Amino acid sequence: MFAARRTIGLCQRRAFSATASQASKVTVLGAAGGIGQPLSLLMKLNPRVSQLALYDIRGGPGVAADLSHINTNSVVTGHEPTPSGLHEALQGSDIVLIPAGVPRKPGMTRDDLFSTNASIVRDLAKAAADSCPNANILVISNPVNSTVPIVAEVFKSKNVYNPKRIFGVTTLDVLRASRFVSEIKKTDPADEKIPVVGGHSGVTIVPLISQSKHSDITGETLDRLTHRIQFGGDEVVQAKAGAGSATLSMAQAGARFADSLLQASQGVKDVIEPTFVESPIYKSKGIDFVASKVRLGPNGVEEIFPIGEISEYEQKLLDACLVDLKKNIDKGIEFVKANP
Residues labelled as active-site residues: 200
Provide the pairing of β-strand 271-278 with 205-207.
unpaired
Report the partner that residue 326 touches, choosing among ligand LMR, ligand NAD, none (CB closer than 5 to 8 A by kind): none
Q: Give the nearest distance from C-beta 71 to ligand LMR in angstroms.
A: 32
Nearest to 118 by CA among 136, 101, 96: 101
Report the partner that residue 120 touches, choosing among ligand LMR, ligand NAD, none (CB closer than 5 to 8 A by kind): ligand NAD
The residue from 77, 142, 178, 292 that contacts ligand NAD (CB under 6 A) is 142
99 is a site residue for ligand NAD (CB under 6 A): yes
Report the partner that residue 141 touches, choosing among ligand LMR, ligand NAD, none (CB closer than 5 to 8 A by kind): ligand NAD
Report the partner that residue 237 touches, choosing among ligand LMR, ligand NAD, none (CB closer than 5 to 8 A by kind): ligand LMR
| From 10-18, 185-193, 201-209, 244-252, span contacting ligand NAD (CB under 6 A) | 244-252
Count of residues interacting with ligand LMR (CB under 6 A): 10
104 is a site residue for ligand LMR (CB under 6 A): yes
Q: CB-wise, 20 or 329, nearer to ligand LMR?
A: 329
Burial class, 303, CB count within 10 angstroms (exposed 0-12 / middle 13-18 / buried 19+): exposed
Q: b vs e for 34-68, b when ≥16 Cβ sit within 10 Å of the residue's Cβ?
A: bbbbbbbbbbbebebbbbbbbbbeebbbebbebbe
332 is a site residue for ligand NAD (CB under 6 A): no
Nearest to 98 by CA among 65, 144, 63: 144
Nearest to 151 by CA among 139, 169, 134: 139
142 is a site residue for ligand LMR (CB under 6 A): yes
The residue from 245, 260, 263, 266 that contacts ligand LMR (CB under 6 A) is 245
In order, the DSSP letters of 30-84 are TTTSTTHHHHHHHHHT-TT-SEEEEE-SSSHHHHHHHHTTSSSS-EEEEE-SSHH
Report the partner that residue 57 touches, choosing among ligand NAD, ligand LMR, none (CB closer than 5 to 8 A by kind): ligand NAD
Contact residues toward ligand NAD (CB under 6 A) are 29-30, 32-36, 55-58, 99-104, 113, 117, 120, 124, 140-142, 144, 169, 172, 200, 244-247, 250
